[in-house]
Amino acid sequence: MSEKIKMTTPLVEMDGDEMTRIIWKMIKDILILPYVDLKTEYYDLGLEYRNETKDQVTIDSAEATKKYGVAVKCATITPNADRVKEYNLTEMWKSPNGTIRAALDGTVFRTPIIVKGITPFIPTWTKPITIARHAYGDVYKNTEMKVPADSKCELVCTDKDGNETRSLIHNFNGTDGVIQGLHNTDKSISSFARSCFNYALDLKQDIWFASKDTISKIYDHRFKDIFNEIFENEYKEKFKEAGIEYFYTLIDDAVARVIRSEGGYIWACKNYDGDVMSDMVATAYGSLAMMTSVLVSPEGVYEYEAAHGTVQRHYYKHLKGEETSTNSVATLFAWTGALRKRGELDKLPELCRFADCLEKAIITTIEEGVMTGDLALLSTLPNKKKVNTEDFLKEVNVRLQAIL
Ligand code: NAP
Ligand code: MG
């Protein structure tokens, strides 16, 4: 390799916290800067700087992502009471991921990275299943009440002219009970649908969506109808050209089909289904450290990151000068995903090829038996060699040089 690969538009780079911040710098130094004339607009989302800027830096990074279209994000601390003390925070700042997701009105897609030697608990899952979770409303923004016996409970809607529409929930004859009010909006469901269809076109994979519309004939049925309308009006032709399908089914049927499938599609889920199923699917594929995540806005803006957190326990070992063996694969795939997308948008085939080669080098390294401790515990390869955080990246670099 003589000349570094040129970029035209900057990538929005969101730095983060703890062990993943350490890995972030190593990845850039060892595997990116030697090969790419990297252009980024840098935002430090490390907790100290978020506190210093009263979290303005998070808002600015989200605005920059809207402007440039592609971001890569390091894992960040979501402060709790302990962190407020530890970092002497002036406020318990909100989750950066929540702030960025709200600003982009985006949907999160999580995909496992599959390697030989790590067999999913469902052995037929030879291809990744990507889960898309609708991250707005339903039971996560509910209102609920305990109800004393012999109460009559109703849903009441008051429209802008003051007209009331009432609908009986239940007469609690002779028993106490509970009730719950849920909502969602056509706007949010439509954004979710468009993000899903865009991402399916991007990955050239089928997309499944499921709800319980046979029981919930108005609420869940609205999701089904909105998906269907948007698909028919905006995506049907594009899907035909790409040779992919949109498939709607009942959630029970979807679960049964997913278990029997070989993977290789996107599964769009309502909020609660996505919460539960993403944990199930991630566990079944083996390791959270092998799960990538991308936030896609309905306008086609992309933010790439690892699905795991800042790996705090490893960071404290690192601070004590002890050796760590932290898995950088998901963070590496965040970088390759973002660089490839930048390359696609800016028509830079060399940049796309670099991202492909780097991913291949990562997979080859693990399949040749060189891996971090978390994977060494799972891998069934006969000759495994556990390496430390930095040596793993150096081993990837050896293989990258061989294929570039
Ligand atoms: P975590 O950082 O994902 O780590 C939980 C445990 O999973 C680790 O202690 C480690 O197990 C294992 N693990 C996760 N990623 C690994 C990797 N790359 N390599 C090796 N092992 C890995 O979750 P957490 O400890 O619950 O959260 C720590 C901080 O991350 C919190 O402040 C939280 O707010 C933040 N967080 C951020 C994001 C995000 O920015 N997207 C997401 C989740 C959490 P062992 O200790 O057994 O080795
Ligand atoms: Mg969950």
Strands 302-306 and 370-371: what pairing? unpaired
> Which residue among 23, 72, 108, 311 has the greatest number of ligand 1 atoms within 8 angstroms of its CB, and so is best to mutate?
311
pLDDT band at 140 (very low <50, low <70, confident <90, very high): confident
Number of helices followed by number of strands (H, E) in the chain:
15, 16
346-368 pLDDT, tens digit each? 999 999 999 999 999 999 999 99
Give distance in angstroms: CA of 52 to centre of ligand 2. 31
Q: By percentage, how much of the chain surpasses pLDDT 70?
A: 100
User: What number is the average pLDDT over the span 237-247?
Assistant: 97
Lowest mean pLDDT among 60-69, 104-113, 357-366, 368-377: 104-113
Nearest to residue 76, comparing CAs of 55, 90, 60? 55
> Which residue among 24, 308, 324, 326 has the greatest number of ligand 1 atoms within 8 angstroms of its CB, and so is best to mutate?
308
User: What number is the average pLDDT over the span 82-93?
Assistant: 95
270-318 pLDDT, tens digit each? 999 998 898 889 889 888 899 999 999 988 899 999 999 999 999 999 9
pLDDT at 312: 97
pLDDT at 81: 94
pLDDT at 19: 98
Question: What's the predicted TM-score (pTM) here?
Answer: 0.92
121-135 pLDDT, tens digit each? 999 999 999 999 998
Which stretch of DSSP H or E encloses residue 252?
helix 251-260
Residue owning tokens 């992919």? 244
Distance, in Å, from the CA atom of 399 to the CA atom of 89, rounded to the nearest integer, reads 43
pLDDT band at 106 (very low <50, low <70, confident <90, very high): confident
Nearest-atom number in ligand 1 for the CA of 330 is 18
pLDDT at 279: 84
CATH number of 1-111+300-358: 3.40.718.10
3-state secondary structure of 110: strand
Q: Residue 216 pLDDT more than 90?
A: yes
Nearest-atom number in ligand 1 for the CA of 373 is 20
Mean confidence (pLDDT) of the chain: 95
User: What number is the average pLDDT over the span 17-37?
Assistant: 98
Give the dihedral sign, CA 108/70/11/394. positive
Give distance in angstroms: CA of 77 to centre of ligand 1. 10
pLDDT at 198: 94
pLDDT at 141: 86
pLDDT at 1: 54
Ligand nearest to the backbone CA of 295: 1
User: What number is the average pLDDT over the span 12-34?
Assistant: 98
Beta bridge partners of 131: 110, 267
Give distance in angstroms: CA of 75 to centre of ligand 1. 9
Give distance in angstroms: CA of 273 to centre of ligand 2. 9
Distance, in Å, from the CA atom of 258 to the CA atom of 103, rounded to the nearest integer, reads 32
User: What number is the average pLDDT over the span 53-71?
Assistant: 98
Give distance in angstroms: CA of 280 to centre of ligand 2. 9
Residue range(s) in the chain whose domain bears CATH number 3.40.718.10: 1-111+300-358, 119-141+184-285
Q: Residue 398 pLDDT more than 60?
A: yes
CATH class of 119-141+184-285: alpha beta
Residue owning tokens 């080859």? 364
Strands 177-181 and 302-306: what pairing? unpaired
pLDDT at 2: 66
